[in-house]
Amino acid sequence: MPSPVPETDPSAAAAEGPSSSNPNPNPSPSASVDAMDAWHWDERSCCAAAADDDDVTQPQFAAEAARVPYVGDKEPLSALAAEYQSGSPILQEKIKLLGEQYAALRRTRGDGNCFYRSFMFSYLEHILETQDKAEVDRILVNIEQCKKTLQSLGYADFTFEDFFAIFIEQLESILQGNETSISEEELLQRSCDQMISDYVVMFFRFVTSGEIRRRAEFFEPFIAGLTHSTVDQFCKASVEPMGEESDHIHITALSDALGVPIRVVYLDRSSCDAANPTVNYHDFIPSSNPRGAISEQQDSIESSARQQTKPFITLLYRPGHYDILYPK
Amino acid sequence: MLDVSRVQKELAECNRDQAISGVGIALCDGGSDLSHLTGTISGPVATPYEGGTFRIDIRLPGGYPFEPPKMQFITKVWHPNISSQNGAICLDILKDQWSPALTLKTALLSVQALLSSPEPDDPQDAVVAQQYLRDHQTFIATARYWTETFAKRISVDIEEKVQKLVEMGFPEDLVRSTLKSVNGDENMALEKLCSS
């Protein structure tokens, strides 16, 4: 892997060391994604020799951009099987199982924003197909709450208002009957448009950060377990910057804040009982009253309500990356 | 395409409480290019930078606010995380930890905080960092000397400060006498002018 920092700079070389090891033990042919993430990490290897970094990494950015759009076309699930045909037998077996329930997948670019982009497209596509006006009205109320949350946390309006406006604009444009209503093709095109796509990603990052900070007491132990950092440090370092990857903390926060359930299907080496393999999934179901404190009693009522809510967004997780799955 | 309206809002917001925050932003050389700005930071108290006013060249790339602002000290400064040669700054939020949720003001405040809390283990200037770690007394003395020499050059740009304060709407003779009474410290002068 080419190092973006000149060898002659000792401080930069030292800083680059740990980040150049690939943290993904999965030797499967999803290597394209892994390699991308690896140089992405590499690119951030600090500090010294900043000007030189750009020259080396920018052609790579361009190459990656040409290869995978922000949001790709729908592909049959067999495309996934083809990707792993010389890979681990356990994963092949799991893909077979996936094929029983899911018909297609849609890839997103592995640039650290894939969870948000997958969520964006999947949610907007759902609204476009169902024309569920009630759902749009519902999420708009939540978005308004998110705005108030950020204001009460001390964020200046101008730092987030443009990002909110762009997402609301997309929502409105997919409802038919509006003068500006758009087609599925146009939705895909917009999701691949750098300006629109990045603005919506940043909108989600604001919403996620606001929710984590608002319920800092709830999220604090999870964050401490994952990164040994404070809630504030975590939001600043792992939520708000573009390109920072998401895990269950981010997904929980975004799902709760917007009130949108999300199913994540895990294609990894968990539950590797070779005789009887299963594909794990987890449903992130927003609590019905995420704004207030939840008593234990309420919680048990909710858990019965939870079982009835089936997520309409399904994401496929492979270590370090999210794509969109389509049920049969 | 630079988000012009956002930059304008940032400038207004930052300069509203410049006297309190100790950081300010203006168009570079009184020009009209919103992508080239000059920031000022007052040296934090109880540091070798106290009393100094440090100028920072700010260039906004077309991708701002998705890309970080490029910031570099114009005023020479002796600090482990700032190049003594060219003023380049080693600060995570100006690189991979930048977020559109941050602003020019928060970035300048972070640079100001960096002046208070050097991180010699992650240096920009290896020579300064070595001195910071091995001969702290000499480091303090050198940093203070550089502040005295480079960050307090009053007479050179006094006219510029006068002009800036006059542009804010204060009468010129009052600006001159106030600046004189605070030894040319622009921020203190502004504070005085605002409270009088």
What whole-number distance in Å separates Cα of residue B136 and Cα of residue A233? Answer: 29
DSSP, collapsed to helix, strand or coil, labels residue B176 as helix
Whether residue A26 lies inside any domain: the answer is no
Residues of A in Cβ contact (< 8 Å) with B99 = 205, 236, 240-242
Asked if the Cβ–Cβ distance from B6 to A158 is below 8 Å, we say yes
What whole-number distance in Å separates Cα of residue B13 and Cα of residue B56? Answer: 18
CATH number at A307 reads 1.20.1300.20
Q: Which of A47, A236, A242 sits opposite B90 (nearest CB)?
A: A47
Whether residue A23 lies inside any domain: the answer is no
Q: B4-125: what fold?
A: Ubiquitin Conjugating Enzyme (3.10.110)
Whether residue A136 lies inside any domain: the answer is yes
What whole-number distance in Å separates Cα of residue A75 and Cα of residue A87? Answer: 20
Whether residue A266 lies inside any domain: the answer is yes
Characterize A76-97 residue by residue with b for buried, 16 or more Cβ atoms within 10 angstroms of its Cβ, and e for exposed. Answer: ebeebbebbeebeebbeebbee
Compute mean pLDDT per 10 residues along chain A, 328 residues long, and list them.
38 36 39 36 31 39 66 94 87 92 95 97 96 95 98 95 96 81 90 95 98 97 92 96 95 97 90 74 79 44 55 95 96
pLDDT, residue A63, reads 55
Residues of A in Cβ contact (< 8 Å) with B124 = 47-48
Whether residue A48 lies inside any domain: the answer is yes
Whether residue A16 lies inside any domain: the answer is no
Whether residue A22 lies inside any domain: the answer is no
pLDDT, residue B23, reads 93
Note the pLDDT tens digit of each residue in B44-101.
999 999 999 999 999 999 999 999 999 999 999 999 999 999 999 999 999 999 999 9
> Mutate which of B16, B96, B104, B122 to test chain A, going by most A C-beta atoms within 10 A?
B96
pLDDT, residue A25, reads 38
Whether residue A20 lies inside any domain: the answer is no
Asked if the Cβ–Cβ distance from A205 to B6 is below 8 Å, we say no
A256 has a chain B CB within 8 A of its CB:
no
Q: Classify residue A55 by burial, with Cβ atoms within 10 Å: 0-12, 13-18, 19+.
A: exposed
Phi/psi of residue B52, nearest 5 degrees: -90, 150
Asked if the Cβ–Cβ distance from B98 to A241 is below 8 Å, we say yes
Compute mean pLDDT per 10 residues along chain B, 196 residues long, and list them.
88 89 87 91 96 96 95 96 96 95 96 96 94 96 95 70 86 86 81 84
Q: State the smallest CA–CA distance between residue A48 and chain B in angstroms.
A: 6
Asked if the Cβ–Cβ distance from B124 to A47 is below 8 Å, we say yes
For A167, B9, B13, B24, the CA distances from B5, given in Å and listed in that order, are 19, 6, 12, 18
Residue-range definition of the domain harbouring residue A121: 6-10+39-327
